[in-house]
Amino acid sequence: MDRLSRHLPLIQSILRASCAVEQKGFFDALIRRIDDHFLTMEKTTVAGAKKNTNGIKGEFFEVVCLLLMRNDAFPDLEVEEAYLLSDMTAEMRQECGLGKQDNGIDMVVRDRGGKLSAVQCKYRKKPNKSSFINPHTGKRQWARWGVTFMDLMTFQGLCRLNKPKGGWLHYIVMTNSPGNPYKKAGKGKKDYALLRKDFKAIPKDKWLSTFGMDGKRLGSTPSVAVEEESEDLPNIDDMREKRLARFG
């Protein structure tokens, strides 16, 4: 089963559970439900499986970003095609200057002018508290919610080492967190960030149509009909209530 088929049912379930939320709080409602789902998964998996859970969450967010790119959710980029690295053929990888191994670039997009951009998708769980007391210093500090300086430097370095003939048009970082990663690093001509505010700006109707909630086809994938809430899909609200009852 490919990544899209594996993660689409959960994405649709979370969208259905959030439909009643108005536009202003819609994306934040999605993030809360995603965090709750994977927190429950961590607590119900065997010890030591947290790393694998984080990997699944990363794949999940990559699929979200892929379909948003394919369905023109960020019109300024004028995306014509978008592919996850894992789905690219050997010829496509060669065209982009990429090897066989995962090199930190999650996705490649081609704009309507034929120019290529490298994309990295970074999902970050929202901290439970905005600040905390550092046990080593005894001082209060703000909880970090965003892409770190080192994350950004690593991605940019990989883009410079692995690139198509003529180079990348953009180095695009997609993250659900609000912090601008270029605030500390400085923004170059190729740097492009899609942050929480950009995801929040996507209309609710666009979210629903992108993920097949209106019965439209998803690119080259089979159409997904709108269904009533299925017992086979997790009920996010029930999961959250059970977790709160158990852990307070």
Q: Which CATH number fits domain 76-199: 1.10.260, 3.40.50, 3.40.1350, 3.30.70?
A: 3.40.1350
Q: Please give the mean pLDDT across all residues of the chain.
A: 80
pLDDT for the residue numbered 236:
41
Torsion of CA 178, 184, 187, 191, to 10 degrees: -50
Give the pTM.
Answer: 0.78
Q: What is the pLDDT of residues 44-88, one digit of tens each?
A: 776 556 657 888 899 999 999 999 999 999 999 999 999 999 899
pLDDT for the residue numbered 187:
79
- Break the chain into its structural domains and give their ranges: 1-73+202-248, 76-199
Residues 171-199 have a mean pLDDT of 87
Confidence of residue 21 (pLDDT cuts 50, 70, 90): very high
Closest-CA residue to 229 (of 6, 16, 32)? 16
Are 83 and 108 contacting, i.e. CB atoms less than 8 angstroms apart? Answer: yes
Q: What is the pLDDT of residues 211-235, one digit of tens each?
A: 988 644 434 333 333 333 333 334 4
